[in-house]
Amino acid sequence: MRLHRFVWLCLIVALPCSALDYDLKPKQIAAGTWLLEGTTDDFSRQNGGNIVNTGFIETSAGVVVIDSGPSKRYGEALRAAIGKVTDKPVVRLYLTHHHPDHVFGNQAFMDVPIVALSGTRELLAQQGDALAENMYRMVGDWMRGTEVVLPTEEATAGSVDIGDHRLQLLALSGHTGADLAIFDQTTGVLFAGDLIFYQRALTTPNSPSLDSWLADVATLQALPWKLIVPGHGPLATDDKPFVQMRDYLGWLDNLMRSGAEQGAEMTELIRTPIPPRFAAISLSRYELIRSVSHLYPRYERARLPRVDAAAR
């Protein structure tokens, strides 16, 4: 009887470790181009932080990877998934920005150049340890062994030829202050990073302003894209992600601008009814609360005059 109980105890203890499998299944979306689509949920111990879209491009010179995922385990799974598609070596990893779901798989790519905007490197150096601590808290053992690995090369705006693919690198800023979008001019696939969320409410902890984000959305929409890979949400072949982003950003900006003009409290704004057109967007209430917390103090400061200036 004791042995029977011991066996069951071992099975129960072993389940979490045996279940830590991202089970990544690359989906081909264009010539030589593959997408690994994450859930639109928030971080949890159930999904291991796999809430992000990553991708890779098989060129004649080797494989280019876009974002490394939320953990060392994910990065290793991504590397293995690439190996099942092609025997060409990985030659470069691009990071779209510094948020943890996009960069904490870097350990699996330390043998290749890890390329990001200089601002992304600075933000990851400043915030990486705190972000990692938070990820360990939210997703637990999925993060085991994960450490912060900084980019090794600086990305600059412009076109770069890698094998038979020409990639246009766009240095933008609306989401974090340092946001890299990658447009494959050869296939028409736009890897928009978190400048585009689709069917998932956007996050704003590092956004310099919603105006700058709206400008970036316009820049991306003007490209001759054929497919849009958002940082979060489903692949799109039409302009619906841009339309949804402009609508949501405009609504969020107007909500906080009018709230500041009326002297509304932050607690009032976070209880604002979600417009029906956004009701089906994942995490809309949760992200509204976070966005108001992040951004509303700026709107209040912009609206209220300085006391010392009024006294002059």
20-50 pLDDT, tens digit per residue, is 999 999 999 999 999 999 999 999 999 999 9
* pLDDT classification of 18: cutoffs 50, 70, 90: low
- Cα–Cα distance measured from residue 48 to residue 70, given in angstroms and rounded to the nearest whole number: 8
pLDDT class of 306 with cuts at 50, 70, 90: low
The residue ranking higher by pLDDT, 9 or 223, is 223
| Percent over 70 (pLDDT), the chain | 92
Least confident range from 102-116, 143-157, 197-211, 294-308: namely 294-308
| Gap between the Cα atoms of 49 and 70, Å rounded | 6
At residue 10, the pLDDT reads: 36
Does pLDDT of 154 surpass 70?
yes
Residue 173 CA, distance from chain mean position: 13
CA atoms within 13 A on the CB side of 200: 22
**What pLDDT shows up at residue 163?**
98
Each domain of the chain, given as residue ranges in start order, spans 9-239
> Can you give the pLDDT at residue 290?
97
> Is 89 within 8 Å of 62 (Cβ atoms)?
yes
263 burial class (0-12, 13-18, 19+ CB within 10 angstroms)? exposed
> Under 8 Å CB-to-CB from 224, ≥6 apart: which residues?
188
Place of tokens 């808290």: 137
> What is the mean pLDDT of the segment spanning 6-13?
35
Cα separation, 173 vs 177, in Å, equals 4
245 CA to centre of own chain: 15
Q: Could you tell me the pLDDT band of residue 309, with boundaries at 50, 70 and 90?
A: low
What pLDDT is recorded for position 17?
A: 52
The rounded distance, in Å, linking the Cα atoms of 248 and 282 is 13
Write down the pLDDT at residue 142: 97
pLDDT at 19: 77
- Supply the CATH classification number for the domain 9-239: 3.60.15.10
In contact, 276 and 251? CB cutoff 8 Å: no
Question: What whole-number distance in Å separates Cα of residue 144 and Cα of residue 155?
Answer: 29
For residue 272, pLDDT beyond 80: yes
pLDDT, averaged across the chain: 93
pLDDT of 266 higher than 50? yes
Which residues are registered as beta bridge partners of 193? 230
Statement: residue 194 has pLDDT above 60: yes
The half-sphere exposure of 204 on its side-chain side, counting CA atoms within 13 A, is: 26
The C-alpha atoms of residue 110 and residue 105 are separated, in whole angstroms, by 10
d(CA 116, CA 286): 29
pLDDT at site 308: 56
Cα–Cα distances in Å, from 210 out to 182, 187, 189, 283, 312?
21, 30, 25, 19, 32
Q: Which of 5-9, 42-46, 129-133, 191-195 has the lowest mean pLDDT?
A: 5-9
